[in-house]
Structure 1
C-alpha cells in the first residue's frame, strides 16, 4: 500500500539538514550496524563510550528476558538478546530524546511529548508480548518514535507550528492533521512515516505508524499482522493519554480504553493487567531517562470509579412523563411551550447557570432541562469562568449581583477569550434602569431577564438566543467548509507538484527534481564539508530492445532495470530518471571508493535480474560512470559532467562495467 507521502518535499526537508536526526555516539552505532563487516566486539566498544546508553540498553534487554532468568549485566549479552536492528533503533530513539528535550516552539510541550512517547513504547512492548505479532524489542522502538512527525514539525517550523497548536485550542472541532495540512501541505502522520522508513524501519512498522490515528483508513484485513500492529499502536497511544490525563478525567476514559483493547482481543482484566505493568515500567524508565512521570491508581480502580460516575449521571437525568395516548415520553414542564414545533433534541443547547442563589439555579435549571437542554451550574463568578472555558456552553444565564466577581465582570472577562466571545450571555437582574442596561450591553451582554423569572418570558428569550446561536453555527460551518476546501486545494497542489517531479513509467523523480536535488546536496556538502558523489547509469543497447521487440518491451526493460537499481542502492542514495534510458544517482556523504562499490552492486543487480516475457528471458546490463566532488569542481554541473565522462569510458571499455575518470580518492572537500 502506497502511503500518501510527498516524497519530493520530504527529500527537500531531509536535504536541509534540519530534520531531527541522531548525533554523536548514536550515529556511530548506527553506521557500525549498517556496515556488515563490523564485529560485535567493536560495536560493544563504541557503546561503552556512552554510559547513559549502556544503562538504557541493558534495561531494555532485561525487560525482555522475564523474571525467571538471570538478569543481563553486560553490553555483549544485551546485544545478543536485543538483536542489531533493535539496538540501532534504540540508539536512534534515545539520541533524539537526548538531543531534542527542548526547543523553540513555545506551544509544543517537549517534556509531555517525550514521557508520552515513553509510555506508548512501553505499552506497545507489553501489548505485543501477548499478541506475538512482532518482536517486542522492535515495537518498543516503534512506540517510542511513532509520533516523531510532531517533533519534526515543531523543529522545522517552530514559529508556524506554535500557531497551529494554539489554533487547535481555539478550534477544537478541527483536527491537528487538518491544521498542519493547511499550514505546511504536510502533516505529522506523513512526515513521521517517511522518517521511520528513511531510518530503515520495515514497511510493517512505518505503515501502521501512519494509520494508527485513523485505522479505518488502512483497509487491513481483520486479524492480519498489520491490522494488529496498527490497533496496538492506537491502544498504546490511548494508554499514554490516560496516564497523562488529569486525575479527575482518567475514570471517564476507561470505557473507551476497554473498547480499543477489544480490537486486539483483550478483555477487561487483560487491559487492566497490561496497563498496570506499563505504569510500573514507566516509573522506572522515567527515573532512568530523567522524564517526569505521574502516580496512576490501578486501572481496575479507575474503571470502577468511571462506572460509578456514569451511573450517577444516568440517575440525574431529567424525569419524563408518558403521553397516555401516543405512548411517547413528553418533557416534564412542556406546558411552558418553549418548543411547540421541533423536537427538543434538535434544539438542545449546552447552558451554564451562574448564580449564588441555589434556589434560583434550581428553578431555572428545572425549566431548561424540562425542554431538553443540557445544564450545569456554578455558584459564583470565579467557578463560572472556569466551567465556561471547560464546558464551552452555547448559552449562559448569569446573575448580575454576586459576591466576588459580578455578572458584568464575568461577562467582560469571557469576552476577552476566544471561547467566551462566541457564548450567548443572558444576564438576570432586578435593576432595569437604562444606564445599567446600557452598561450591561457595552460589556458584552446579549440579552437581559428581569427578576422574578417568568417561565414563558424565559422561554421566549431562549428562542431568541437560539436563533442567534444557530446563525453563528451556520457561519462556523461555512468557515469550516472554506477551511476544508483550502486543505483539499493544498493537497491537490501538492499532488500536482509531486506529479510534475515524478517519472510516470518508473515512479522515480524526474530530471527537474534531480537538478534541484543536486543543488541542495551540493550546498549541504559545502556547509558540512562532507563528500558527495554521483553516478550516471545508462542501459546498454537499449535502442535494440525498442527496435527488435517494440516500445512496450522497452518500457518493461526500463521498469525491470529501475527496480534492480532501486533495490541495490542504500537508504540515503537518491535516484532519478533523467533521460530515455539514463538514470542519475546522488550519493550524499559518500566518497569515491564507497560510490564505486555501490555502483558495482547496482551493475551486478541489473545483470542478474533478467526479464521473463512470453516465455523468453531478456537479459540487460548497464554502464555506470562514477564521480566524487573534488576541489577543482566549482558547481554541481561539474560533478555530473565528470560522471558523464566516466560513463563514456565505461561504454568504450565494452559496456556492462563501472568506471571513474578520477584516478585517486580526492582530499577533503573545500567549498569554493
Structure 2
C-alpha cells in the first residue's frame, strides 16, 4: 500500500523556504488563530483590513446558508457560519491563489490550474452536501487545496517540472505521478498530503487526498468516512476536468462521470442537477476571483450528446476495421508547442552584437520630454512604455516589470524620489535600474537621490548622446545582474538536483531491498514521530510485532532462495491486509513492525487478525506443491505506564513471546482489553 511522503523529506523541502506559503493578511489570520486567547472580534478586525478577502468570505458563507435563510452580510456573521478553522483554511487557499497566479514553470498553465481548483472546491462542497461525510465548508477548502502538490513542484523545480509536463504529452500512457517520481523521487500526491497535514488539516482529509486519483487503492472500508471523502475527491477532480476541457471533449467525458458518481450512490439525474449548480457557482466565483470561466450547456444535454457519439462510434466499429476504436481516440491531440517568433536578433535592432534590447519605462508628466527620450530608446531597439505620473508609473512598473526606468524627479502627486522609494520596498522594484532626470545638480540633492535607491541621474535639458551613453552604462549593470541571476539559478538547479539525489539515497538507506518495505532505521524514526503526534493530540497509538513461524526451517529445507520467496510472499499478504494509515517495516530477518496511528487495542487486535489470516491464506507455490506459512503477532497499545516508544515496542515483543509459547499462528497481547486512559491526563 502506497504511503504519503516521509516527514523528514518534507521538512527538508520546507526548510528550503520555496514551498508555496500564505502571505499578508492570510498569514496574520493563521497566526492569530493559533493563539489560544484570540477572539472573534480580533479575527474580524484583521480580516477587515483585506476587502478582497471580506468579499470572498461572505460569498463562501452565503453558499452554505441555503435559500430560506437570511443572507450573510458581515464578517462576524460569516465567522459564525463558517467557523474559525474553516476561515483559517480559506485564508490560506485564497492567499495562495493571489500569490501564485503565475510562475516560472513554462508548461504549467497557472490560469487553468486555479480555475480547475475552484471547480474542485465547489464540487466537493456540492457532493458533501449530499453525502454528509464532513462539513461542506471544510471540504470546499479541501477541494481548493487538493492539487497543491502540482503547484508546489512547479514552484520548487520550474525548469525540471516543465520537462516532466512535456513528457506527459509524449508518453500519454504513463501517469504524471510516475514521471514525477523518476524526476524528483516524490510525486504531487505525496507532497499534497504532507502540505495539507503541515497546514493543520485533519488526517481524515489529508490522507484521502493522497488517494484522490486512485481511491480504490486506499484500502478504505466501503462506506467509511475516509472512503466517501476519497471518492468524493476523485469525482470532484473529474468534474473539474470536464469544466476546463475543450468544448468537443465534454460530452465524451460526461458518460464516464456517471460511472464514477455511482461509487457514491449518486444517480445521473442528481449528478446533472448538481453539476448545473456548480456551473452557476463557478461563474459567480470566477468573476469575484478574476479567473477565466466558460459557458457550459446543461449537463443533461452533454450526456445526450455523449450517448449519440458513443452510438455512432459503435456503429462505425461494426461496419469497418480501423478508425476510431475507443472514446479516447476522439480527444483532439494537443497542438505541439512552437517557439514564439523572435525579433530577428539584436543586430537587426541597431544594437551592438551580443547586447539584448531592454524593457524600459519612462515616467514623466511632460509629454514632449517622454517623446524625446522614447525616440532615443527606440532608435537603438529598446521596448518602451510611458507613464504620465508617478502613480501610474508605479502600477505599470509592477505589471510590466521593466529592466530600466527613466523617471523625472519633479512630478505632481508622487515625485520621482518617492516613486523610487516605493519601488525599492517591493521584490520586483528592487531589481529595476532607475535613472532620474533632474534640472538641479546640487550635491546634497544628488546624495539624497542615491540614498533613496536611485542608480544614476541625468541633467536636463537632455542631450541624446549623453542619454545613449548613460543607457549603455546602465545596460552593463543590468547584464551583470542578469548573469548573477543566471548563476544563482544554476546554483539553485544544482541544489535541487542534489536534493533529489539525496532523497533517493535516503530512500535506499531506509528501504529493505528484498520486500520493498521501510527498514528498521525508518521504523525507529517513524515510531518516534507518531509517538510525538500521539502526545500532542492525545490520540491512541498501537503497534504490532510480526514474526514468521519456523522461518529457519524454510531456509534449511529448501535453501535461502525459497526463504527469500517466503518473506516476499508474507510481506505481500501483510501489505494487503493493513489499512491506509498503518505503517509497516521489516525490522529483522523474519520480523516486521506495524505502527497503527489513531488506533486503540481492540482495533489493533482486529487488524492483526486480518494480517494473520491473510498470511495463512496465501501459500507459496513451489515445484508443483504449496508451501503453507503462518505468523505470530504481538500487539500493544500506548498506556499510562509507557514513557517512550521503546516501551511500546517492548510490550508488543512480550506479547509476541506469549504467542510463540501458545503454539504460534496466533495473535496475543500482554495488556488488558478493559477500557482505560490512553495517555496521562493533562
1:578 aligns with 2:590: no
Partner of 1:542: 551
User: In the alignment, what sits opposite 1:89?
Assistant: none
Q: Displacement of 1:103 after TM fit?
A: 7.0
Q: Is the 8 A contact 2:439 2:459 kept in 1?
A: yes
Question: Where do residues 176-575 of structure 1 align in structure 2 (5 Å cutoff)?
Answer: 190-193=190-193, 198-199=207-208, 202=211, 204-205=213-214, 261=246, 278=278, 280-282=280-282, 293=288, 299=294, 339-342=351-354, 347-432=356-441, 437-575=446-584
Q: How far 1:599 moved relative to its partner?
A: 1.1
Q: Partners in 1 of 2:214 and 2:416 — Cα distance?
A: 55
Deviations 1:336-384 (A, max 9, x none): xx52434xxx611110001112232233223323433221111012221
What secondary structure is seen at the aligned counterpart in 1 of 2:87? Answer: coil
Deviation at 1:493?
3.6
Q: Pairwise mapping of residues 30-69 of structure 1 onto structure 2 (< 5 A)?
A: none
Q: 1:647 aligns with which of 656, 662, 676?
A: 656
Task: Deviation per CA, 1:174-218: give whole Å up to 9, x if none.
Answer: 999xxxxxxxx999863314566722764635899xxxxxxxxxx
Q: Is the aligned partner of 1:123 residue 2:119?
A: yes
1:402 and 1:11 map into 2 onto residues whose CA distance is 50
What runs of 5+ residues in structure 2 fail to find an aligned partner? 14-59, 68-80, 100-110, 125-129, 163-184, 197-204, 218-232, 253-273, 297-340
- CA shift for structure 1 position 583: 0.9
Q: Aligned residue for 1:145?
A: 142
Measured in 2, the distance between the counterparts of 1:112 and 1:438 equals 38
3-state DSSP class of the match of 1:567? helix
Find the aligned partners of 1:149 and 1:298 in 2 and give their Cα distance. Answer: 20
Distance 1:583 1:4, change over 3 A: closer
CA contact (8 A) 2:362 2:370 kept: yes
1:207 and 1:462 map into 2 onto residues whose CA distance is 63
2: distance between equivalents of 1:498 and 1:392?
42
Displacement of 1:97: 8.4
Measured at CA, do residues 204 and 370 of structure 1 come closer, stay the same or move farther in structure 2, by a change above 3 Å?
same
1:6 alignment counterpart: 6
Residues 247-285 of structure 1: CA deviation (Å, up to 9, x unaligned): xxxxxxxxxxxxx74896799xxxxxx99975522478x
1:670 is displaced (CA, Å) by: 4.7
Superposition TM-score, scaled by structure 1 size: 0.58
Partners of 2:549 and 2:630 within 8 A in 1? yes
Q: Which residue of 2 aligns with 1:660?
A: 669
> What is the CA distance between 1:544 and its match in structure 2?
2.1
**Counterpart secondary structure, 1:445:** coil
| 1:101 aligned residue | 87
Q: Distance in 1 between matches of 2:345 and 2:597?
A: 73
Q: CA 1:559 to 1:382, structure 2 compared with 1: closer, same or farther past 3 Å?
A: same
| Kept after mapping to 1: 8 A contact 2:619/2:627 | yes
How many angstroms does 1:663 deviate by? Answer: 5.3
Cα separation, 1, equivalents of 2:505 and 2:664 = 38
Matches of 2:658 and 2:524 in 1, distance apart? 23
Instruction: Give the whole-Å Cα distance in 1 for the aligned partners of 2:119 and 2:193.
Output: 20
Residue pairs, 1:590-669, within 5 angstroms: 590-613=599-622, 615-662=624-671, 664-669=673-678
User: Partners in 2 of 1:597 and 1:227 — Cα distance?
Assistant: 29
**2: CA distance between counterparts of 1:630 and 1:417?**
54
Q: Is the 8 A contact 1:537 1:647 kept in 2?
A: yes
Note if contact 2:121-2:144 (Cα within 8 Å) is conserved in structure 1.
no
Kept in 2, the 8 Å contact 1:397–1:428? The answer is yes
SS at match of 1:468: helix
Report the CA distance shift for 1:538/1:461 in structure 2 as closer, same or farther (over 3 A).
same
- The 2-side partners of 1:207 and 1:147 are apart by 22
Task: Report Cα offsets for 1:410-460 as digits up to 9, x if no partner.
Answer: 334433443323221223344456665555444433333344444444333
| Higher mean C-alpha deviation, range 407-416 or range 594-603 | 407-416
Aligned to 1:218: none
Partners of 1:299 and 1:631 lie apart in 2 by: 59
Cα 1:660–1:234, aligned 2, differ >3 Å: closer, same or farther? same
- The answer (yes or no) to whether the contact 1:368–1:375 under 8 Å persists in 2 is yes
Contact 2:601–2:636 (CA<8 Å) still a contact in 1? yes
CA drift of 1:397 comes to: 1.3
Contact 2:434-2:454 at 8 Å conserved across structures: yes
Aligned to 2:39: none
Could you report, residue by residue, the CA deviation over 1:83-127 in whole angstroms, capped at 9, with x for unpaired residues?
Answer: xxxxxxxxxxxx9987242279999738979xx999646635999
CA distance in 1, matches of 2:360, 2:371: 13
Aligned equivalents of 1:442, 1:371: Cα separation in 2: 31
Distance 1:420 1:121, change over 3 A: closer
The SS at the match of 2:410 is coil
- The change in CA–CA distance for 1:370 and 1:266 in structure 2 (over 3 A counts) is farther
Q: Secondary structure of the residue that 2:213 maps to in structure 1?
A: helix
SS in 2 for 1:512: helix
Measure how far apart 1:505 and its partner are: 2.0
Q: Is the 8 A contact 1:542 1:581 kept in 2?
A: yes
Distance 2:275 2:673 in 1: 60
Deviates more, 1:192-201 or 1:641-650: 192-201
TM-score by length of 2: 0.58
Contact 1:118 1:282 in 2 (8 A): no
Unmatched tracts of structure 1, length 5 or more = 14-52, 63-94, 129-134, 153-160, 162-166, 177-184, 209-225, 240-259, 268-273, 302-316, 321-327
In structure 2, do the counterparts of structure 1 residues 281 and 546 end up closer, same or farther at CA, with 3 Å as the change threshold?
same
1:572 counterpart SS class: coil
